[in-house]
Amino acid sequence: MTYYRDADYDLGERRREKRVEEMESQYQIPEQTMWSLARYVVLAAPPGGFVTAVLQNDLRNAVARADEQNFAALAQIADCVYNILPGNCHGDAKAVARWAGEKVGEV
């Protein structure tokens, strides 16, 4: 398994796509959630409420927003985010907003 905790912010598109391939091969995550994470990493597209809560390390809101499939896969999703996604694209609301190119407070 490859770990990316110290990855640079400005990854090339190919490096981001490689991470998506790793996510798909290593984790059993609902397809819609996998694609939401992939779009977020590759395109910096803002994800939905559940994925945003996971990315922001907000367990209470992640559990509250999870459907049955995501709730069952929450440990896999969190493991994937921590071990595969670039370290600077998750962790708190500011990191998620920066990755998506938004200014905190203007969302």
Q: Where are the domains of the chain?
A: 13-99
Task: Say how far apart CA 104 and CA 97 lie, in whole Å.
Answer: 6
* Burial per residue of 23-53, b for 16 or more beta-carbon CB atoms within 10 angstroms, e otherwise: beeebebbeebbbbbbebbbeeebbeebbbb
- State pLDDT tens for residues 87-102: 999 999 999 999 988 6
- State pLDDT tens for residues 16-32: 677 777 877 889 999 99
Residue type, 5: R
How wide is the angle at C-alpha 63 spanned by C-alphas 59 and 65, nearest 5°?
A: 115
Please state the rounded mean pLDDT for residues 72-88.
Answer: 94
CA 45, chain centre distance (Å): 11
- State pLDDT tens for residues 29-58: 999 999 899 889 888 888 999 999 999 999
